[in-house]
Structure formats: structure tokens, C-alpha cells
């Protein structure tokens, strides 16, 4: 039962997400009309005006005007609704872009999307030196005020490959430079710790000499021959003093030497 409930929840979630996607991707008739109108105004008014004003005295005058003066002048004289700050930044962007692409030969495909309070219009441009894309941001209301604009040159295949190669070279060069720097630091640390000399290996310890074996102590043996002769002499002397003719019957139990 629990597995069945989880499967049902998953299916409902997928269907809900699919429904939200379809709802967001589907435009109402009024929204589509606003996109079409914004594209026409961008291609017929905003982009041609920005391309024609570059390098003229009017562009220099606009740079000196206040945003309020620009908005009033554009609405009264040119019949175009433009934000003052947006027009100043757009002129700078188009001036830089035209230097890269040269003259504008024709306008290509256009596309428009709604992004909250703005409508973003993109116009493909065929240039003399390279192609570009103009991006015009217009207010999402009935006034169609140009908030900002930019001319973005599109790099050629050769330029893209050159940039990729340069990025690769810079990346690899940075890595090797860091590795070399680390090696130098490690070498310097080794010199500082050893005062520039390599430590010599300590000599191997010599084996200890075997301890001399003590010679066995031989206890002195008593001189038995001299003692027997001395006993015989003493026994004879005692027998003579007793008037005996022999030493039979005499027993010598001990002999002690006297010192004088």
C-alpha cells in the first residue's frame, strides 16, 4: 500500500511539473502581440538609431545631457521612448562594437522573450568584419521604453581557437610557475636548515671487543712432603725425650707454627 501511494505521488508530481512548464511556455495573445511589437520597434527604431548616431555630434551632445534632458529630447524630437542612463551606456557599447565589426550590412533573425518587467529582444547583425548580436531590453508595458542596449561581436572560429589556446597556455604556465616556485622554496629551506652542507652519515658503531676471560685461580697445594718430614722429626724428638726407642703409639693431630 505504501509503495502504491509513493508511486501515485511521483506521477502527480511529474504531471504537475509538466503542467507548469506548458503554462510558462505558452503565451497569451496579448503577450505575443507585445513581443512582436517590441521586435519591430527594436529593429526599425532603436538599433538603426544607435548605429547611425555613433561618431556624430549628436552622440557628443547626449554625453553632456542629463538623463532627464535625454528622455525629453528623444520623446519630442525622435518620437522614441528611451531611458537616459540606458541610452548613454548603449552608445558606449555600440561604439565599441562597431569598431570590431565594421559597417552593418543587414539585420538577421530576431527573437524576443519576456523576463518579468522586461522584454529582451535579440537581433542578429551581419557586419563587415564579423557578425554580432544586438541585445535590446525594453520595458514590458505599453510604453516600450528602451532601458538598455548592447552590441556584442561574435568571435570567429579562428578567434575562438586562439582564445582557447591562450587560456590553455596561461593556465599551464601558471601551474608550472607555481611548481617551480615551490621547488625553489623547498631547496632554500634545505639549505637554511643544513647551513648549505649536506649532513654526513654517522659512522657505524664498531662491535665491542669481547671481555677477557679470567684465568682460573689455582688454589695453592700444601707441600705434603715437607709436612710429613716435619711430623717425623717432631715425633722422633718427643720419643727421645720420653726415653722411647720408636715413635709407635704417637699420634700428631695438629701442627701450629709459632712466630717470634
pLDDT at position 17, please? 45
pTM metric for this prediction: 0.56
pLDDT at position 189, please? 82
- CA nearest 97: which of 54, 138, 59? 54
- CA nearest 138: which of 157, 155, 123, 153? 123
pLDDT at position 157, please? 74
pLDDT at position 197, please? 55
* Cell numbers found for residue 72: 525629453
40-60 in b/e form (b: 16+ CB < 10 A) is ebbbebbbebbbebbeeeebe
Please report which residue ranges of the chain form alpha helices under DSSP H: 2-25, 29-41, 47-53, 57-64, 67-73, 84-101, 157-194, 224-242
pLDDT at position 72, please? 95
Name the stretches of the chain with pLDDT < 70.
1-25, 193-228, 244-260
Question: What is the Cα–Cα distance from 71 to 85, expressed in whole angstroms?
Answer: 9
Q: What is the DSSP letter of 248?
A: T
Mention every residue, 6+ apart, whose C-beta is less than 8 A from residue 113. Answer: 35, 119, 120
* Cell numbers found for residue 99: 569598431
243: alpha, beta or left, given left = phi > 0 and alpha = psi -120 to 50? left
Amino acid at each position: 500500500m505504501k509503495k502504491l501511494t509513493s508511486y501515485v505521488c511521483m506521477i502527480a508530481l511529474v504531471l504537475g511539473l509538466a503542467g507548469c512548464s506548458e503554462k510558462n511556455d505558452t503565451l497569451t495573445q496579448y503577450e505575443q502581440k507585445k513581443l512582436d511589437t517590441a521586435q519591430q520597434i527594436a529593429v526599425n527604431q532603436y538599433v538603426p538609431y544607435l548605429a547611425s548616431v555613433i561618431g556624430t555630434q549628436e552622440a557628443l551632445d547626449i554625453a553632456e545631457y542629463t538623463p532627464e534632458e535625454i528622455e525629453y529630447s528623444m520623446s519630442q524630437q525622435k518620437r522614441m521612448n528611451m531611458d537616459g542612463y540606458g541610452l548613454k551606456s548603449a552608445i558606449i557599447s555600440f561604439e565599441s562594437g562597431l569598431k570590431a565589426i565594421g559597417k552593418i550590412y543587414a539585420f538577421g533573425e530576431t527573437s524576443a522573450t519576456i523576463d518579468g518587467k522586461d522584454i529582451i529582444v535579440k537581433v542578429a547583425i551581419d557586419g563587415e568584419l564579423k557578425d554580432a548580436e544586438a541585445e535590446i531590453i525594453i520595458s514590458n508595458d505599453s510604453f516600450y521604453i528602451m532601458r538598455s542596449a548592447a552590441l556584442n561581436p561574435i568571435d570567429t572560429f579562428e578567434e575562438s581557437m586562439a582564445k582557447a589556446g591562450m587560456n590553455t597556455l596561461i593556465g599551464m604556465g601558471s601551474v608550472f610557475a607555481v611548481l617551480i616556485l615551490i621547488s625553489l622554496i623547498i631547496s632554500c629551506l634545505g639549505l637554511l636548515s643544513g647551513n648549505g652542507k649536506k649532513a654526513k652519515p654517522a659512522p657505524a658503531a664498531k662491535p665491542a671487543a669481547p671481555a677477557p676471560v679470567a684465568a682460573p685461580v689455582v688454589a695453592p697445594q700444601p707441600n705434603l712432603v715437607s709436612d710429613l718430614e716435619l711430623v717425623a722429626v717432631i715425633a722422633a724428638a718427643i720419643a727421645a725425650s720420653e726415653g722411647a726407642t720408636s715413635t709407635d703409639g704417637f699420634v700428631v693431630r695438629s701442627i701450629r707454627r709459632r712466630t717470634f
